[in-house]
Chains A and B, each alone.
Chain A
Amino acid sequence: MTSDTMKVEGDFPIRFRYTAGLAGEKFLREIRDNAQLVAARCPSCDLNYLPPRIYCERCMSSLNEFVPVENVGVVESYTLCTRDNEGKQLAKPVHLALVRFPSTYGGLIHNTKGRVSIGDRVRVVFKEKSERTGSILDIAYFEKIP
Chain B
Amino acid sequence: MPTGLKGTGLKEEDLEKRKVLTVAYQPNAKYAWATGIAIGKFLSGLRAGEILGIKCDHCGRIAVPPRIFCEWCFKKSESWIRLPDTGHVNTFSLSYITTDTTRVKTPTIPAVIQIDSAGNAGFLHILGEVKPDEVKIGMAVKAVWLEESARKGSITDIKYFKPIR
Contacts and interface: CB of A to CB of B under 8 A. Distances in A.
Contacts, number: 80
A46 interface: no
Contacts of A131: none
B32 interface: yes
Interface stretch (A7-15, A67-75, A107-115, A121-129): A7-15
Given A6-B35, A7-B32, A18 B41 contact: no
Interface stretch (B22-30, B139-147, B157-165): B22-30
A19 B30 contact: no
A1 B68 CA distance: 11
B68 to A, nearest CB: 9
Contact of A5 (B27, B30, B35): B35
- Which DSSP category, helix, strand, loop or mixed, fits chain A's interface? mixed
Question: How many B residues are at the interface, by size bracket?
Answer: 20 to 34
Interface in B44-70: 44
Interface string B1-28: 0000000101000010000111111111
Contacts of B43: 6
Nearest to A15: B26
Contacts of B37: 1-2, 4-5
Contacts of A9: 30-33
Given A17-B15, A20-B20, A7 B35 contact: yes
B154 interface: yes
B40 interface: yes
Given A9-B31, A15-B26, A25-B21, 8 more contacts: A5-B37, A14-B27, A17-B15, A17-B22, A17-B24, A18-B22, A29-B21, A86-B28
